[in-house]
Structure 1
Amino acid sequence: MTHLRSKRLPGSGPRPGRTLVAVVALAASLVLGALTPAEAAEPEGAPAASGSHGKWSAEPHGFASLDGGTTGGAGGKVVTVTDRAALLKYAAAEEPYVIRVAGSIDVEPFGSDITVTSNKTIIGVGDTGEIVHGELHLNPGTSNVIIRNLTIRDSYVEGDWDGKTTDFDAIQMDSVDHVWIDHNRFTHMGDGLLDVRKDSQYITVSYNQFTQHNKAFGIGWTADVKTQITIDHNWFSGTKQRNPSADNCAYAHLYNNYLSAQVADGDPVWTYGNWSRGKTKMVIENSYYKDVQHPYQADATAELVERGSILRNTTGRHDEWGAAFDPREFYDYRLDPAAAVPALVTRFSGPQRNLGTDTVLNVPADYPTVQAAVDAVPDGNDGTVTIRIAPGTYRAKVFIPATKPNLVLRGTGRDRSDTVIVHDTPAAYGGSTGSATVRIAANDVTARNLTFSNDFDEAAHELNGEQALAMKTTGDRIVFEDTAFLGNQDTLMTDSPKLDVISRVYLRDSYIEGDVDFIYGRATTVIEHSVIKALSRGSTTNNGYITAASTWKDNPYGFLITKSKVVSDAPAATFHLGRPWHPGGEPNAIAQVLFRDTELPAAIKSSPWTDMSGFSWKDARFTEYRTYGPGAAVTADRPQLPAADAATRTVADYLAGQDGWAPHTDRR
């Protein structure tokens, strides 16, 4: 379920410099059938999300989702920081950033602040991102900040249990708006762990751990009644008070929190769980209290509604009075059963190894074009970056340079035809490479649920150079899954940086169409469980060539087309399976192509291999194995792979290389 605004709070309005583009784009993507944010962000292989927002949702829920939402550094560049200087620089920058914290960062001087300005996401990479001996500080007026998946620890000064001499919080914010604090671990700090101060608004605090501390989480320090805050799925353990304390909150919604192992020092008043103070309206739902004194209490001027919680070995105040408010008037949510809260929260709160390792960039919600999102990825990128592309037609070229590996391009529509990247450049206007709609020079790039097209109209032009690529790859370990490639001549080129360098490309569940040499190049390329359409050019004798491989002579693995289907609208016996391409007359380019366990149409010629540029097809490495259908035959002009060799011409053999790459075993 996605949390879109359902009610505007009194006095709310657009924030300076922010628009509702992200919300509108998200709503549009949902209408068009995109995955919900929770589904899109859920790590592959992770357990199903619990609660409406999901354990690893990329989108905030609760109050932080209202009034335009909280997007953090979306739209800005992605950077990885490993030291204090870099964290200081990017956190305080004027422009938006997604800041990935890798490893432990020691803040000096002890207890000093890291100022965080508007439009920032700060996220730990995996479960090892730490900020030690310092505080993240949001000054008045700061807006749109996400802080996730960090451990912030150890600014406690020995002997200062009450925090009277230091103010070394883990996170402190004053009069801010739209902040999401999620999946962090706060422990052993000076004064408070989390202080949401003054007139801060549209705040969500979810799936955090508060441990080993006196004053855990305070809200207020103001006579105004403005703050709206959602607090869910947090674990308070080994803390004494402020779990949280909410003073003069307009609306405080607490649900599915776990309070346990409270500090037991005999203090009859200032050891407590949740406190609704001043004029706060607080709603507590389906939480779990174990060994807690004063689990929930309210001032006479405040209101507190509690329902569905479980209490085990609790003492003291259990206050409930007033009507408070109905959270569902503001946003949707789903409660986990209170009995499930201890197991759920202890497992999934705090930093997670699955978070921060896949940075999600959204087009066009966060970045106006696919290229803008690619440009936001840092050179030398060492963590997965997923570029989620909303349904639509994007008429533009895209280039992923070799310096930006580990990318995933993912269409979010129901079908690959919903999201199309298209251009219309022929080779006559920039060479074969320059014609490509999309070029991938980086390693470890995956594309899913997308269509790539070059819609140059050959019939409308008379040019010397009608090649028009939809896709060209030179990187290694490239995967295309549920993708389509549309064009005529030279639709899909899978290549490598130079002749004697082997790059590998794997396509499955995909569609490729064209007429002349429309699958070509020297990369080791496997096409599995896919449809290849050989388009008619209107000839009664020769309509084209499916493949034009240029495999390096010392590479035994060129093109493998397996468990696929070739279809055609061309007349019978007018299409070739392929011809040998020797770029620039290169004699060491010895094509290798195997059609295996693949259906062939009547359009395939009885002698399906042919010469090219003076090079005989008989000197190439062309074979078939168990092809079938009206276009299949066994003749002297159709070399067959010997059965004894079939065991070493499998998908695994083609792709393994030196590193054992096996994308065919990874079913997404």
Structure 2
Amino acid sequence: MRHGIQAPSRAAKIAVVLAVPVTVLTVSTGPAQAAAPADGVVYTLASGASGKCVEVTGASADNGALLVQTACAASALDQQFRAVARGSAFNLVNGGSGRCIDVPGASTVSGTQLQQWGCGDGGKTNQQWTFTPSATSGKYLVKSVATGLCVSDKDGSTAGNNPIVQETCSDVARMQWSFTSVSGSATPTVASDGTGRYRTVQAAIDAVPAGNGSQVVITIKPGTYREIVTVNKPYVTLQGLGSSPSDTLIVNNRSAYTHGTSGSYTALISARDAAATNLTFSNDLDESTVPSGAQAVALRLDGDRTTLTNVRILGDQDTLLVNDSARAYVKNSYVEGTVDFIFGGGTIVFHSCDIYEKRSTGGPVTAASTAAAKTYGFLFYKSRITGATNNTTTLGRPWRPDAQVLYRESTLSATIATGQPWTDMSSNSWKNARFLEYRNNGAGATTNANRPQLSDAQAANYTPQKYLAGGDGWNPAG
């Protein structure tokens, strides 16, 4: 952390045919039965009764188009559905239309045929589904959050174009669904070996129109992409195609010594409504190679309403910069570093994430610079804080005097310096900052005079939804 720097200065249906309203392009190396449906992965859904797949009638892109079953064809985009996490549930977004599987009018009538409808912000419960393992291995019951009814091949028919309906849940063949990850001849957007449409991630982003107004999914084949990436177009999603985020690596090694802290990033998300899933951002600077300025940002967030799911963000000092203009939601992800490795003046929620202090001598996880006029800064919600050694890691220090950080309902391991988990930074006292805890657990979650705690009444105003709502009601957490 370069303490002299002011906070603001740290500062064809598919393919990439960018005029199409929703651009989604996916590939995998072969058919693979998913261990469990996962966020960001594209699947076909096959009935346990018929073996046929869910499809949008006539490959329609219209709201209200009904769902039927037909012979499975993995390359048919109207049979492809991307799982998008919405809290503990999922949207199922059609690859051909970009619309969500929907219960018409949230009807609770058993036998109602399902349709597709625009997803909006993903918050409609009649478009949210939970996946429960069936007694039949490898199959799942798909249950509506709004109605409590399950997706079914009507009457268990084997006929083509048979309606897909909702029914009272029962673990029987017509309600048992296989989720098979998409394979076939589809071409990834980016592949460093030349098998994609572009060899670099930045080339694919550059191909998106400057005034882009609809979602574009840039799929990235597993591999290492040593480049600087700037997501400066709205509604762009970067999606790794590997079996885990470690398979797709975006990496560089710039440092504050050569570029200043805020300019040392490997990846910068500056546009609104951007997302990344199933990949890794890394800055692999060898600190011994620079005489000073060892700060090295892996990911810098400037854009509003960024969503990161199932990503890894790797670095040492100053790994993740969340600038004042940013709101971000990070779920089921991993961040590691050594000193002040999550820092900045923006608003960010880490939900069910793993945060790792990797230095044997420990260090502060956060260096928030929240402006005094801003209510919310950093929230670690139901996450896990671990480290290389015990009693060495601190929860944070204030880069600005009014820094705001809350660890809520999280597991704090023995790595936390329990007696004094908050520390001063320059002339900024941790006691004057807005540093808080609420209902944490684990060996590092003791309470004492150096650990301010929220009351139950106060906690109602410090939820993920409150942090992210802003003036437009953004609610990616569900």
TM-score in terms of structure 2 length: 0.64
Instruction: State the one-letter code of the partner of 1:515.
Output: T
Aligned counterparts, 1:92-131, within 5 A: none
CA distance in structure 2 between the aligned counterparts of 1:390 and 1:627, rounded to whole angstroms: 39
The residue number in structure 1 matching 2:344 is 521
**Deviation, structure 1 residue 603:** 1.9
Contact 1:483 1:510 in 2 (8 A): yes
The residue number in structure 2 matching 1:57 is 77
CA distance in structure 2 between the aligned counterparts of 1:521 and 1:388, rounded to whole angstroms: 29
**Deviation, structure 1 residue 643:** 2.0
Instruction: Answer yes or no: is 1:485 the counterpart of 2:308.
Output: no
Instruction: State the one-letter code of the partner of 1:475.
Output: G
The residue number in structure 1 matching 2:258 is 429
CA deviation vs aligned residue, 1:236-274 (integer Å, no higher than 9, x gap): xxxxxxxxxxxxxxxxxxxxxxxxxxxxxxxxxxxxxxx
Instruction: State the one-letter code of the partner of 1:57.
Output: L
CA distance in structure 2 between the aligned counterparts of 1:629 and 1:616, rounded to whole angstroms: 26
**Deviation, structure 1 residue 55:** 8.7
CA distance in structure 2 between the aligned counterparts of 1:618 and 1:487, rounded to whole angstroms: 28
Contact 1:450 1:483 in 2 (8 A): yes
Instruction: State the one-letter code of the partner of 2:365.
Output: I
- Among 457, 461, 467, the alignment partner of 1:648 is 461
- Among 398, 403, 407, the alignment partner of 2:236 is 407
Instruction: Answer yes or no: is 1:340 the counterpart of 2:136.
Output: no
Change beyond 3 A, Cα 1:29–1:429? farther
The residue number in structure 1 matching 2:203 is 372
The residue number in structure 2 matching 1:552 is 371
Gap regions ≥5 residues in structure 1: 1-24, 61-122, 127-336, 345-359, 498-502, 583-588
Change beyond 3 A, Cα 1:366–1:31? farther
- Among 395, 414, 418, the alignment partner of 1:577 is 395
Instruction: State the one-letter code of the partner of 2:217.
Output: T
CA deviation vs aligned residue, 1:519-555 (integer Å, no higher than 9, x gap): 111111100111111112x43xxx2110111111111
Compare CA radii of gyration and give the structure with the larger one: 1
Instruction: State the one-letter code of the partner of 1:548.
Output: A
Contact 1:38 1:56 in 2 (8 A): no
Contact 2:70 2:161 in 1 (8 A): no
The residue number in structure 1 matching 2:216 is 385
CA distance in structure 2 between the aligned counterparts of 1:376 and 1:526, rounded to whole angstroms: 31
Contact 1:520 1:550 in 2 (8 A): yes
CA distance in structure 2 between the aligned counterparts of 1:38 and 1:433, rounded to whole angstroms: 42
Contact 2:69 2:163 in 1 (8 A): no
CA distance in structure 2 between the aligned counterparts of 1:420 and 1:49, rounded to whole angstroms: 37
Higher RCO, Cα 8 Å, sep 6+: 2
Change beyond 3 A, Cα 1:461–1:338? closer
Identity between Structure 1 and Structure 2 (%): 42
Contact 1:410 1:450 in 2 (8 A): yes
Instruction: Answer yes or no: is 1:617 the counterpart of 2:427.
Output: no
Contact 1:448 1:483 in 2 (8 A): yes
The residue number in structure 2 matching 1:568 is 387
Change beyond 3 A, Cα 1:343–1:617? closer
Change beyond 3 A, Cα 1:446–1:550? same
3-state secondary structure, aligned to 2:458:
helix
Change beyond 3 A, Cα 1:524–1:125? closer
- Among 598, 619, 622, the alignment partner of 2:410 is 598
Change beyond 3 A, Cα 1:32–1:531? same
Contact 1:361 1:386 in 2 (8 A): no
The residue number in structure 2 matching 1:628 is 441
Change beyond 3 A, Cα 1:450–1:646? same
Change beyond 3 A, Cα 1:634–1:47? farther
CA distance in structure 2 between the aligned counterparts of 1:631 and 1:37, rounded to whole angstroms: 40
CA distance in structure 2 between the aligned counterparts of 1:651 and 1:27, rounded to whole angstroms: 33
**Deviation, structure 1 residue 48:** 8.1
Instruction: Answer yes or no: is 1:397 the counterpart of 2:210.
Output: no
Gap regions ≥5 residues in structure 2: 1-24, 35-40, 46-54, 81-95, 100-156, 165-186
Contact 1:427 1:435 in 2 (8 A): yes
CA distance in structure 2 between the aligned counterparts of 1:552 and 1:468, rounded to whole angstroms: 23
**Deviation, structure 1 residue 50:** 3.5
CA distance in structure 2 between the aligned counterparts of 1:661 and 1:535, rounded to whole angstroms: 33
Instruction: Answer yes or no: is 1:473 the counterpart of 2:301.
Output: yes
CA deviation vs aligned residue, 1:107-145 (integer Å, no higher than 9, x gap): xxxxxxxxxxxxxxxx9999xxxxxxxxxxxxxxxxxxx
Instruction: Answer yes or no: is 1:448 the counterpart of 2:277.
Output: yes
Runs of 4+ deviating beyond 2 Å: 25-39, 42-56, 123-126, 337-344, 460-463
CA deviation vs aligned residue, 1:598-648 (integer Å, no higher than 9, x gap): 111222112111111211111110011111211111111111112210111
Contact 2:331 2:352 in 1 (8 A): yes
**Deviation, structure 1 residue 30:** 3.4
Computed over aligned residues only, the root mean square deviation of the Cα atoms, in angstroms, reads 3.2
Change beyond 3 A, Cα 1:482–1:512? same
Change beyond 3 A, Cα 1:343–1:566? closer
Change beyond 3 A, Cα 1:31–1:125? closer
Change beyond 3 A, Cα 1:375–1:59? farther
TM-score in terms of structure 1 length: 0.46
Change beyond 3 A, Cα 1:496–1:32? farther
Change beyond 3 A, Cα 1:594–1:38? same
Contact 2:384 2:410 in 1 (8 A): yes
Change beyond 3 A, Cα 1:644–1:428? same
CA distance in structure 2 between the aligned counterparts of 1:426 and 1:47, rounded to whole angstroms: 52
**Deviation, structure 1 residue 455:** 0.8
Contact 1:491 1:519 in 2 (8 A): yes
Change beyond 3 A, Cα 1:639–1:125? closer
Contact 1:481 1:509 in 2 (8 A): yes
- Among 494, 497, 502, the alignment partner of 2:322 is 494
CA distance in structure 2 between the aligned counterparts of 1:30 and 1:58, rounded to whole angstroms: 19
**Deviation, structure 1 residue 393:** 1.3
Change beyond 3 A, Cα 1:600–1:341? closer
CA distance in structure 1 between the aligned counterparts of 2:238 and 2:477, rounded to whole angstroms: 18
Instruction: Answer yes or no: is 1:511 the counterpart of 2:334.
Output: yes
CA distance in structure 2 between the aligned counterparts of 1:655 and 1:26, rounded to whole angstroms: 30
Contact 1:594 1:623 in 2 (8 A): yes
**Deviation, structure 1 residue 54:** 5.5
**Deviation, structure 1 residue 461:** 2.3
Instruction: State the one-letter code of the partner of 2:320.
Output: L
